[in-house]
Amino acid sequence: MKVTLILKKSVTRYDTESQATIYARLRDGRQLDLVAPTRLTINPNLWDDKAEQVKSKVVCDEAMRTRYNNEARRLKTYIERAYQNRPEETVSKGWLKEALDQYYNPQKYNLEQVSAIKPTLTALFDEFLEKHRLSEVRKKNYRVIKRALQRYELYIRATQMGKEDFTLDVDWVTADTLRDIWNFLENEYRYCAIYPEIYEAIPEARTPQPRGKNTLLDCFSRIRTFFYWCNSHKKSRNRPFDDFPLEECTYGTPYYITIEELHRIYATNLKRHPQLAVQRDIFVFQCLIGCRVGDLLKMTKSNLIGGAIEYIPRKTKEGRPLTVRVPLNAMATEILARYEACDGDKLLPFISEQKYNLAIKRIFKAAGLKRLVTVINPTTREEEKRVLYEIASSHLARRTFVGNLYRKVKDPNLVGALSGHKEGSKAFARYRTIDDEMKKELVNLLS
């Protein structure tokens, strides 16, 4: 379903006197196409057919521009809502004309005057976060996107003439709007110094950095989920992503450390850096249980049950909770015994995630892990060679766990039972690789 505002009358270029009626047009698939006149009239040279508002660059009275644009928004909103909430499925040829009559003469139909504007897109976003089942971590990620959309609104108000009151409307977002938002998010890091007032109004914990294509695809997949929610809960019938398909993210070949390199890290002498030695033990422990860092930092002594670690990954808590149980080997048991007297209920003496990642890089450098690995630059998406200790992080522990187990058993479902991946998980492929040793084993099966 789509509502547009159109003019039927053409006019010569320099005609500033003629007036034309603005018509409302309602289309729903190929079966329905209704047109009816509104009470708005305007000189055709002032009207932007594509934007369905007064031209942004034309010289005219600003109060008139605002009045027309607001009324156009109210009209479209009313027609869309009236159509969505109609009591009968069938629509007569006179339905649109009657709907406009109800809009202009509510007292005639015992209706209240149409004054309230429907919730803005960002207001609906709040409702989505409140009612949609999401973990707190995912809600936090969605709020980052919501703030970015709010900054986009401020950016449009600051940069486009005649849009000083611009607000995203869930029914007005088109594929072109999405492309414009994409362009804004891709270049947002440039706007911080140019429009500081935007970032004072809607701040972030850190200054926006250049976003790579994978990051943008992840952002837009979340925005698409929001629109799907709006569709399923009858907040809107707008489906802008039908004309804005998202491609798959591109990832490089997974890299991880070998079992030999893990033992090398564990054996590295860090007596001169006792705090680093503690974080080294925690990293090795994470490599041996394969959990995400968010789950690791929340673990307490209660997660240790019968010689194994049991936990519910945060990513599955809001859907079908999946209990992961990972038996501990001798090295993991040794590490836990070393910190058995750790203060409080914490399983190990954790620090913040950011400091933990910095410590991991120092640990790798101290262990002499300087081999080159091929990675995809997240911003440029170009292949590049990096030294292992420069890019080591907590997530490398999870890849190390999955990658080394997969080399041994080559069964994604069995490994997934230990890592918390669901059967058939697409994400699993990002943690393991088919190396030359596996290929040789497969070829030897033919001999």
pLDDT in tens, 131-161: 988 878 788 999 999 999 999 999 999 998 7
Same domain, 391 and 278: yes
Mean predicted confidence (pLDDT) in 246-256: 78
CA 334, CA 260: separation in Å to the nearest integer?
Answer: 18
In 3D, which of 253, 321, 329 has the Cα closest to residue 290? 329
Q: What pLDDT does 237 receive?
A: 84
In 3D, which of 396, 393, 376, 398 has the Cα closest to residue 385? 376
Same domain, 350 and 378: yes
Same domain, 137 and 214: yes
The answer to whether residue 254 is domain-embedded is no
The answer to whether residue 157 is domain-embedded is yes
Question: Is 50 exceeded by the pLDDT of residue 447?
Answer: no
Predicted model pTM: 0.58
Q: What is the CATH number of the domain that holds 368?
A: 1.10.443.10
Among the ranges given (104-118, 299-313, 389-403), the one the predictor scored with the smallest mean pLDDT = 104-118
For residue 119, name the pLDDT band (cuts at 50, 70, 90): confident
The answer to whether residue 253 is domain-embedded is no
Question: Is 70 exceeded by the pLDDT of residue 348?
Answer: yes
Residue 430's SS3 state is helix
Number of domains in the chain: 3
Same domain, 440 and 333: yes
In 3D, which of 137, 104, 58 has the Cα closest to residue 317? 137
Report long-range pairs for 142-148 (Cβ below 8 Å, ≥24 apart).
142/222, 142/226, 144/204, 145/219, 145/222, 145/223, 146/122, 147/202, 147/204, 148/185, 148/188, 148/219
Same domain, 417 and 290: yes
CA 131, CA 292: separation in Å to the nearest integer?
Answer: 26
Same domain, 107 and 148: no
| Contact of 149 with 121, CB cutoff 8 Å | yes
| Contact of 340 with 348, CB cutoff 8 Å | no
Question: Is 50 exceeded by the pLDDT of residue 115?
Answer: no
Q: What pLDDT does 187 receive?
A: 93
For residue 445, name the pLDDT band (cuts at 50, 70, 90): low
Same domain, 218 and 188: yes
CA 53, CA 55: separation in Å to the nearest integer?
Answer: 6
Of all residues in the chain, the percent with pLDDT exceeding 90 is 47
Same domain, 277 and 365: yes
| Contact of 18 with 44, CB cutoff 8 Å | yes
The gap from C-alpha 441 to its chain's centroid, in whole angstroms, comes to 40
**Letter string b/e over residues 181-214, b meaning 16 or more CB atoms within 10 A of that residue's CB:** bbebbbebeebeeebeebbeeeeeeeebeebbbb
The answer to whether residue 140 is domain-embedded is yes
Give helix then strand counts, H and E, for the chain: 16, 10
The answer to whether residue 252 is domain-embedded is no
Question: Is 50 exceeded by the pLDDT of residue 262?
Answer: yes
Domain stop point among 171, 199, 233 = 233
Same domain, 101 and 9: yes
Domain span including residue 134: 121-233
Same domain, 223 and 173: yes
The answer to whether residue 239 is domain-embedded is no
Same domain, 376 and 411: yes
Domain stop point among 86, 113, 140 = 113
Q: What are the structure tokens assigned to 153, written together?
A: 């609104």
Mean predicted confidence (pLDDT) in 291-301: 92
Mean predicted confidence (pLDDT) in 256-276: 94
CA distances to 109, 196, 199, 208, 358 from 205, in Å: 52, 15, 11, 9, 19
Query: Which carries the bigger pLDDT value, residue 164 or residue 116?
Result: 164
CA 366, CA 77: separation in Å to the nearest integer?
Answer: 63
Residue 7's SS3 state is strand
The answer to whether residue 249 is domain-embedded is no
Looking at residue 170, its amino acid is V
For residue 114, name the pLDDT band (cuts at 50, 70, 90): very low
Among the ranges given (193-202, 252-261, 298-307, 429-438), the one the predictor scored with the smallest mean pLDDT = 429-438
Question: Is 70 exceeded by the pLDDT of residue 284?
Answer: yes
The answer to whether residue 228 is domain-embedded is yes
Domain stop point among 233, 268, 284 = 233
CA 438, CA 324: separation in Å to the nearest integer?
Answer: 27
Same domain, 62 and 93: yes
